[in-house]
Amino acid sequence: MRAVAERQHATADAIAEDVRASIGTISKQAVYDALGMLVKRGLIRRIQPAGSPTLYEDRIGDNHHHLICRSCGRTVDVDCAVGHAPCLTAEEEHGFRIDEAEVIYWGVCPECLAARET
On whether both 86 and 50 belong to a single domain, the answer is: no
51 and 80, same domain (yes or no): no
Q: So what's the pLDDT on residue 99?
A: 72
CA distance 31 to 111: 32
Domain CATH for 35: 1.10.10.10
Judge if 6 and 52 occupy the same domain.
Answer: yes
Cα distances (Å, whole numbers) of residue 67 to 23, 26, 76, 87, 90: 32, 31, 5, 17, 21
Instruction: Give the bridge partners for 47, in sequence order.
Output: 55
Q: How many domains does the chain have?
A: 2
For residues 96 and 41, state if they share a domain: no
| Boundary residue ending a domain (60, 78, 95) | 60
Are 55 and 70 in the same domain?
A: no
- Pick 60 or 88 by higher pLDDT: 60
Domain end among 16, 31, 60: 60
Claim to verify: residue 70 and residue 108 sit in the same structural domain: yes
What integer pLDDT is reported at residue 37 of this predicted model?
Answer: 97
Q: What is the CATH number of the domain that holds 82?
A: 3.30.1490.190
Where is 104: in which H helix or E strand?
Answer: strand 104-107
Question: Which pTM does this prediction carry?
Answer: 0.81
Alpha helices in the chain (DSSP H): 2-6, 12-23, 28-40, 90-94, 110-117
User: What are the pLDDT digits (tens) for 25-56?
Assistant: 999 999 999 999 999 999 999 999 988 899 99
Which residues constitute the domain of residue 103?
61-118
Residues 108 and 71 in one domain: yes
